[in-house]
Amino acid sequence: MSRHRRIAFVCAAVVPAIAWSCGEGIFDHPPGASSLACLDAASCPPEGDARAQGQDGDVEANGIDGALAVSCEGQAPGTWRIELVDGRGDTGRFPSVAVGADGVHVSYYDVTTAAVRYARRTSAGWAPVDVDLAGRPPSGEPGNVGMGTSIRLDAAGRPAIAYSDIANGHLKLARLELGGAWALETADGATNVGGWPSLVLDDLGAHVTYTDRANRLLKAAHRDLGGTWTSEMVDDSNTSAGQQSSLAVDAAGGLHVTYSENQAYLKYATRPRSGTWTSTRIDSLSSGLWSSLVIDRSGNLHVAGCSRFASGDLHYAQKSGPSWPREIVETQADGNVGWSASLAVDDRGEQHIVYFDKGNGDLRYAHRATATGAWEKTTLDAPGTPPDLGRYAAMVVDRSRILHAVYYDARTGDLQYARRCP
């Protein structure tokens, strides 16, 4: 008898990276894995609809999507195709990406209006819109809403975005409703919270990890299916814990998060579906900055990130028992490679990373094939002068093994999208 049941699911991805969920498609789903929540009950598929199953960060949710409104027709295998997402003013920082049956979804920060923006790519192209302008003061000056975003798709394929509202010092969540309007919620209304949010969805609702800037610690907020938010401490062991967290959820509903402690150590915390958080320092040679955590289809945990803040290398580790054997993916003489790392693992177990090479100011891509075990590194997009392209990046891989990356071009102030066909 098969140890798996067959389901269909909706997917998404994140950043800095993130863990992801999936698109609509059939997948082998291990017993006991949780299903994806529908955050707006009115928009949920009817009971029994296959789209009501799935999980961001689950073992089945390696950013692997099903039939998409994205095609590789006319694009050579192994190549990247780049296109503009949004060129309005200075826009595109802190992007996060999700992929579903209706196209590619992106959230990001717009500097010009100091607001959260959202864009969806369909066969007709990109359609950017404002999500939250509420941080704008009465004077009309910008108010810094959205400096840090994380997007996921719920069971109905509708996007949810967690973001930092610096203007008011809160953590917020935006949900796209059936009529096309965005419903805005305050997830944590404490003072000076919400930094570097990372969002996942499961059958219990929504979960977000984020920095409490006032107390310099890592917190988690949880939204139940009735819309009630609660928050808890994840790590208060250090006065600078919780920077740049990356959250994932496993098949049993357990939460896993990597993050930086004092820009000096990579830490990992986990909480079972019904339990409390435990944390540990897993790498004293890594700053923990730009960490990107992924749970693959077999339940293995992978993390990539920047080894050091001042002179960083790009590093990667896969959890093995209690340890995380670490390897260097790329190092350069001038250092500063590995910023804004975003990791994805495809259905063959092959790892893909996009990252910013600060020393040369370009966006890099690393891929390790299971056949050779070696990392192959290339420049995804190289800028002109001055060089500064890819400082903020996010990536997901879909069920067809198509890679979808979004990144900020600091030279032009634009948000770019790149697609790589297998």
User: Which residues are 326's β-sheet partners?
Assistant: 317
Lowest mean pLDDT among 74-83, 134-143, 173-182: 134-143
Whether the pLDDT of residue 102 is over 70: the answer is yes
Whether the pLDDT of residue 55 is over 80: the answer is no
* DSSP codes joined into one string, 259-273: EEETTTEEEEEEE-S
Q: Vertex 17, ends 409 and 170: CA angle to 5°? A: 90
The pLDDT of 82-97, averaged and rounded, is 95
Instruction: State the SS3 of the chain.
Output: CCCCEEEEECCCCCCCCCCCCCCCEEEEECCCCCCCCCCCHHHCCCCCCHHHCCCCCCCCCCCCCCCCCCCCCCCCCCCEEEEEEECCCCEEEEEEEEEECCEEEEEEEECCCCEEEEEEEECCEEEEEEEECCCCCCCCCCCCEEEEEEEEECCCCCEEEEEEECCCCEEEEEEECCCCCEEEEEEECCCCEEEEEEEEEECCEEEEEEEECCCCEEEEEEECCCCCEEEEEEECCCCCEEEEEEEEECCCCCEEEEEEECCCEEEEEEECCCCCCEEEEEECCCCCCCCEEEECCCCCEEEEEECCCCCCCEEEEECECCECCEEEEECCCCCCEEEEEEEEECCCCCEEEEEEECCCCEEEEEEECCCCCCEEEEEEECCCCCCCEEEEEEEEECCCCCEEEEEEECCCCEEEEEEECC
Q: Which residues touch 322 (CB under 8 Å, ≥6 apart)?
A: none
Is residue 41 classed as helix, strand or coil in its secondary structure?
helix
Lowest mean pLDDT among 74-88, 280-294, 396-410: 280-294
Nearest alpha-carbon partner for 23 in 77, 61, 78? 61
Let me know: does 8 contact 1? Beta carbons within 8 Å.
no
Q: Which residues touch 181 (CB under 8 Å, ≥6 apart)?
A: none
Whether the pLDDT of residue 312 is over 50: the answer is yes
Lowest mean pLDDT among 14-18, 331-335, 392-396: 14-18
Name which residue leads in pLDDT, 57 or 122: 122
Let me know: does 146 contact 132? Beta carbons within 8 Å.
yes
The pLDDT of 176-184, averaged and rounded, is 94
Residue written as tokens 């994805």? 344
Q: Quick check: pTM over 0.75?
A: yes
Whether the pLDDT of residue 318 is over 80: the answer is yes
**60 confidence band (pLDDT: 50, 70, 90):** very low
- Report the C-alpha gap between 54 and 66 in whole angstroms: 12
Is residue 193 classed as helix, strand or coil in its secondary structure?
strand
Whether the pLDDT of residue 7 is over 50: the answer is no
Domains in the chain, CATH or no CATH each: 5-420 (2.130.10.10)
Name which residue leads in pLDDT, 164 or 66: 164
What's the mean pLDDT when you consider all of the chain? 82
pLDDT at 130: 94
- Report the C-alpha gap between 1 and 6 in whole angstroms: 13
The pLDDT of 195-200, averaged and rounded, is 95
Give the H/E segment covering residue 379. Answer: strand 375-381
Whether the pLDDT of residue 44 is over 70: the answer is no
pLDDT at 18: 30
The pLDDT of 87-106, averaged and rounded, is 94
Residue written as tokens 């740049």? 244
**372 confidence band (pLDDT: 50, 70, 90):** confident
pLDDT at 63: 40
